[in-house]
Structure 1
Amino acid sequence: MDDLSPLRDSGNRPFWQEKTLAEMTPSEWESLCDGCGRCCLNKLEDWDTGEIAWTHVACRLLDGDTCRCKDYPNRQATVPDCIGLTLAEVNSITWLPPTCAYRLIRDGEDLYWWHHLLSGDPETVHAAGISVRGRTISEEGMETDDLEEHLADWPGEDPGAGVR
């Protein structure tokens, strides 16, 4: 990741408060990921209603300890249905977690206190209980039909609602 110093513009406001997602540099865009790992969980969609059901089953490339992809540069070649978060995807995906920085900024909201860009520590997302650390199983070797046996409510919730 490129150096993001200074994080603030000349008016002393952080870049994510000054720029739209479309205006961000690649390094600013990448820095928005809080490392929660929620987007790497398998989800089931009801074809009739569009409702999303979350599971606690993680992509085979998700490192359960770091909540980071084990092969980020090649993830879409290894996992063809991996969705790269582009501006178009952020604007169309309905299942981004309510704590996701991309979603928050898209919707004109600010980041939570535990986001590493505010706290200065990538561990605060885990300490705050936002991440999937220690709460997942791998999809490796699992049949798609078995996902229904692993539903979870917490990934779509906002455990920090009202606390910024």
Structure 2
Amino acid sequence: MTSPEDTPRDDIAPAALAPDGASLPFWRAKPMSAMSATEWESLCDGCGRCCLVKLEDEDTGQVAYTDVACRLLDADTCRCSDYERRSEIVSDCVRLTPEGVAELNWLPPTCAYRLVGEGKDLPFWHPLVSGDAGSVAAAGITVSGKVAGSENEFGLFELVDHIVAWPVRWPRGAKGGVKAGTKGAPGTTRRRRPKADEQKA
């Protein structure tokens, strides 16, 4: 049986809404653990934010985003260039699961998996609501045009200079439509953040 996170994004039907005869869209009608593989994958809006390299402070556990992308991310399309084999190629690629979403407190606040897991509805620009994949970029959610480069172009200590705050913020005017709902992936990379004494070494 194919698990939700193993379904290729190319197989996702646009604007997949509610099961036949249901009055609510699937993300409000059922928990994430009960979603089909297609429903689970369609929650991903393709913004690319989770595919930005992140640095984690070993002492505090705090995670900081950078504007450097995973080497598999196409910064123009905001899609993984080898989605099916991403975990084989990128050893620290995190595969989202219904059970693991609640534990990943570093997911962007705009992330549909996080929103649905918190019992909130999807925003107006999400493709499942708008029916248009282009609405994500139009709302300023995607990483397109904001990426400094691929992780292959930077050393570990250089990443510290690329820490940014925008991936964990809502763009102006993009928050409309998020509200309480019925509680209910993409890969993402994370790196250890160098300690102060290491940076000086």
Q: Please report the TM-score for the alignment, with normalisation by the length of structure 2.
A: 0.77
How does 1:120-139 map onto structure 2 within 5 Å? Answer: 120-136=131-147, 137-139=149-151
* Aligned-partner Cα distance in 1 for 2:92–2:105: 16
* Aligned partners of 1:42 and 1:55 also within 8 Å: yes
Q: Give me the whole-angstrom Cα distance separating, in 2, the residues matched to 1:67 and 1:2.
A: 16
- Give the 3-state SS of the residue equivalent to 1:140 in structure 2: helix
If you compute each CA radius of gyration, which structure gives the higher value, 1 or 2? 2
Distance (whole Å) between structure 2 residues aligned to residue 65 and residue 5 of structure 1 = 22
Runs of 4+ in 1 over 6 A off after TM superposition: none
SS in 2 for 1:8: coil
Name the structure 1 match of 2:26: 15
1:48 Cα deviation from its structure 2 partner: 1.8
Name the residue aligned to 2:164: 152
Work out the CA distance in 2 between the residues paired with 1:5 and 1:39. 21
Aligned to 1:76: 87
Change (3 A) 1:105 1:127: same
Check 1:118–1:55 CA distance in 2 against 1; reply closer, same or farther (3 A cut). Answer: same
Q: Aligned residue for 1:98?
A: 109
Q: Alpha carbon RMSD of aligned pairs, Å?
A: 1.6
SS for the counterpart of 2:100 is: helix
Matched to 2:28, the amino acid is Q
Higher RCO (CA 8 Å, separation ≥ 6 residues): 2
The count of aligned residue pairs is 164
The aligned amino acid for 2:138 is A
Unmatched 5+ stretches in structure 2 = 1-10, 178-201
SS at match of 1:113: coil
Report deviation, 1:91: 2.0
Counterpart residue type for residue 156 of structure 2 = T
The amino acid that maps onto 1:44 is L
Give the superposition deviation at 1:162. Answer: 4.5
1:35 corresponds in structure 2 to: 46
Corresponding residue for residue 61 of structure 2:
50
1:163 and 2:176 equivalent?
Answer: yes
Write the letter of the residue equivalent to 1:57. V
Deviation at 1:6, TM superposition (A): 6.2
Post-superposition Cα deviations, 1:34-90, rounded to whole Å, max 9, x if no partner, equal 000000001111122221111000000000111010000000101010011112321
Asked if the contact 1:4/1:27 (under 8 Å) is kept, the reply is no
Percent identity, please: 52
Give a deviation string over 1:91-130, Cα, whole Å, max 9, x none.
2111000010000110000001000001111111111001
Q: 1:54 to 1:5 in 2, by over 3 A?
A: closer
Q: In the superposition, relative to structure 1, how do residues 5 and 156 fare at CA in structure 2: closer, same or farther (>3 Å)?
A: closer
Whole-Å separation in 2 of the counterparts to 1:28 and 1:152: 31
